[in-house]
Amino acid sequence: MEKVLTILFIFVVQLLAAQPAVEDFKKIFRLEISETNTPIVIDGKLDDQAWTTANRGTDFWQKVPFFAEGADPRTEVMLTYDKDNLYVATKCFQKEDIIIQSLKRDEYWDNDGIAIVLDPLNTRTNGFLFGVSASGQQWDALRSPDDINSDWSNKWFSEVQVEEEFWSMEMAIPFKILRFSPEEKEWGMNFVRNHINENEFHNWTAVPESFWPPDVAFAGALVFDKAPIPKKGNFNLVPFVTGSINKVAGEKVAVKGSAGLDARVSVSPTLNLDLTFNPDFSQIEVDELVTNLTRFNIFLPEKRTFFLENGDLFADFGYPSVRPFFSRKIGLDSERQAVPILYGARLTGNLTKTTRLGVMNIHSLKSDNSFAQNQSAVSFQKNFGRSYVRGLFLNRQSFDGVETVKKDFGRNTSLDAAYISDDGKITSWVALNHSFKPNIKGKTGFYTYGFQFQNPSWEILLASATVQENYFADMGFVQRIENYDAVRDTSIRVGFNDNISGITYRIRPKKGKITRHNINLTNVYYTNSDWSFNELFSEFNYSIAFRNTAGFEIGVERNDIELLYPFSFVSEGEPLPADRYTFSNVSASFSSDERKMIRFGLGGQTGDFYNGKLHQANAEINFRVQPWGNLGFGYQWNQLDFPAPFGDEIITALLGKLEIGFNRNLLWTTLFQYVDQNEYMGINSRLQWRFSPMSDVFLVFVDNYDVFNGLGSGGEIQTNNRAVIVKVNYWY
């Protein structure tokens, strides 16, 4: 422990002394704008007087499929502002037919479109993204150092106009939805244009080849003639009402109604308070279930809007497979059943340009399996350029009525630091995490450190994590610590050490049908808490990306596993005994041109699996009618063959998706799923009418079934849950 603390201290001292290594993009890419005194009509036509005198940003850079100066076709961007809004206009020259693959909101990357990237506080790590496709549907998202969160949404305005040789766009972004300092005249800014016909992405600035186009670190400067003034007293109210008719097998029809309120208040120009009372998430799209052939749980992303803005302040702590905070645990009881949330409050944003703060409190109600739960989180982050030091405190406390249950709580602390070079090529980090629970002492830590290097050709990763057996994450996610014993039908906590090494080499041809070759070698080595061997996973992977968006991939895997407890992957047969298993397999996949009316993907895997065999095949096909319709199907087949008496089984999954956009404001989506491993079959169908910006009527139909013993085996089907739900929300 003392050694780890010493490493952390030295690391933080070096971090504080770090200086930028490369020239700031804001000195090279600059666009000056002035306040307008004439009105702007958001119609996409670019005939307003303000655009005749506005400075134009041009000379975009090609980012994908390879880095090049002078992107073609040409793009022009202009900006202005008034006391309420930031106005953006773009002119995208394009003689080819426009490609629109979906009218669904937030489906941006597969459509011709253009997006602005804004970093009002010049953090070089976090920002806002606002995009519009060539058919007018909007995309908004939040950019954090590790992610782009497209589930975040807000109220802004845009329109497009399509001409013979170009299409144009206008947007108005209210200042009240942005977080910025009234003393700052320069904001970070970039643009990302999608030119799908040529499978190209263009940037206004010269974002280096090995970084994703909307990377905030390489933004240029949006230079105001005077600093915009934040509006005081900014707040939004979103009341909603819901009604449902529900039929559960063996029970009477239940008719329910409910109401609630979401609110957003600007505490300061850079701090935002989000409130929710009696929240309802019935309109949120359901998860697509997957077949799980591992021994551990899988990680599904958060989609509930309340938890998304500045979500990285809480969610990015830890390691990909070990997260102290995982918001999907909120609103679930001890049996992972949904329970009502009474209220939620979140204060997030920047205290200063380099200091971020997050405070959250959620209270969920009592269920048949658990007491009422109050869950709190406090986070801070101090930035030094792109690098940072940050901390997190979590507290889960059970309540019986208004009284705390003294012996039922879980608390976590986290402290980590990361050095990121100014050009983004070098990243290194170290983190300390601890948990606190009643009557548990010792072995309560989780520690991680690592190093990553990347440039256009090479990516090297070295990372390590130690998770002790008494590290609990009541508000988080730990993937490997619970080991299921199939003979005793119980789980045993076993601490582990995780060591990852990976190297990737990329070849980027400038000509020809192939745009990229990727060669990757990855090793993941696990040991038990006493450093004895547990598992070694090695993978060699080679993939090709074609100019026409098609792709091909082959891989070889080798596994060496010391199975600590008996485990079964099939429903019939004895569990595999605790023993050492060594096995290998090969895989291949192909995906067709994504721009075509009909596109498809094929994949398969074959080889050994523990002491048996595993053969997998999957296929998917999608039929698109531009721009209004998509119909897709997916099928997965897994054949598991083990020697007697361990059994064998065929596990399948079927997915069907229908999307019809009657127009940009009326969308019908339907998802059908059958996953026999989960003994589940269900339909979720949703009609959404956006009658005003960010104001909707949702009509949702849910029909779920339990399927015992599998459809292919003549299994029994029983209705589990059928419901019709109506939800109306209005954004004030």
pLDDT tens column, 600-643: 999 999 999 999 999 999 999 999 988 889 999 999 999 999 99
- pLDDT for res 585: 97
User: Across residues 35-47, what is the average pLDDT?
Assistant: 94
As a whole number of Å, the end-to-end CA separation of the chain is: 52
Considering only residues 152 and 440, tell me which one the structure prediction assigns the higher pLDDT: 440
C-beta of residue 538 within 8 angstroms of C-beta of residue 552 = no
- pLDDT for res 17: 44
Bridge partners, 274 (sequence order): 264, 346
Q: Which two tokens stand for residue 88?
A: 């953006």
Q: How confident is the model at residue 19 (pLDDT cuts 50, 70, 90)?
A: very low
Alpha-carbon distance of 582 to 171, in angstroms, equals: 58
C-beta of residue 603 within 8 angstroms of C-beta of residue 589 = yes
User: Across residues 80-107, what is the average pLDDT?
Assistant: 91
Give the range with max mean pLDDT: 169-173, 288-292, 671-675, 681-685: 169-173
Domain boundaries, the chain: 23-224
Share of the chain above pLDDT 90, in %: 60
Burial class (CB in 10 A: 0-12, 13-18, 19+), 155: middle
- Which of 42, 34, 120 shows the shortest CA–CA distance to 82? 34
Q: What is the largest CA-CA distance in the chain?
A: 82
Is residue 214 pLDDT above 80, yes or no? yes
Q: How confident is the model at residue 22 (pLDDT cuts 50, 70, 90)?
A: very low
Is residue 311 pLDDT above 90, yes or no? no
- pLDDT for res 128: 93
- pLDDT for res 144: 81
Helix boundaries (H) for 291-337: 312-315
Q: How confident is the model at residue 656 (pLDDT cuts 50, 70, 90)?
A: very high
Q: How confident is the model at residue 2 (pLDDT cuts 50, 70, 90)?
A: very low
- Secondary structure (H, E, C), 168-228: EEEEEEEHHHCCCCCCCCEEEEEEEEEEHHHCEEEECCCCCCCCCCCCHHHCEEEEECCCC
Containing 261, the helix (H) or strand (E) segment is: strand 254-268
* Least reliable range by pLDDT among 148-162, 186-200, 318-332, 700-714: 700-714
Is residue 456 pLDDT above 90, yes or no? no
DSSP state of 35: B
Q: Mean pLDDT for the chain?
A: 89
pLDDT digits (tens, 9 = 90+) for 341-393: 999 999 988 888 889 999 999 999 988 878 899 999 999 999 988 899 999 99
Q: How confident is the model at residue 18 (pLDDT cuts 50, 70, 90)?
A: very low
Q: How confident is the model at residue 16 (pLDDT cuts 50, 70, 90)?
A: very low
Backbone dihedral angles phi then psi of residue 110, each to the nearest 5 degrees: -95, 5
Which single residue is written with the structure tokens 């900014």?
234
pLDDT digits (tens, 9 = 90+) for 556-575: 999 999 999 999 999 888 99
Q: Identify the three-state secondary structure at position 282.
A: coil
Angle made by CA atoms 328, 334, 336, in degrees to the nearest 5 = 45
- pLDDT for res 333: 75
User: Across residues 3-18, what is the average pLDDT?
Assistant: 48
- At position 247, the amino acid (one-letter code) is K
* Least reliable range by pLDDT among 109-113, 163-167, 316-320, 678-682: 678-682
> DSSP assignment of 381-401, as one string?
EEEETTEEEEEEEEEEEEEET
The fold for domain 23-224 equals Immunoglobulin-like (2.60.40)
Q: How confident is the model at residue 23 (pLDDT cuts 50, 70, 90)?
A: low
Containing 551, the helix (H) or strand (E) segment is: strand 551-562
User: Across residues 643-672, what is the average pLDDT?
Assistant: 93
Could you tell me which residues come within 8 angstroms of residue 13 by beta carbon, excluding any fewer than 6 positions away?
none
Is residue 271 pLDDT above 90, yes or no? no
Q: How confident is the model at residue 172 (pLDDT cuts 50, 70, 90)?
A: very high
**Rg from Cα positions in the chain:** 26
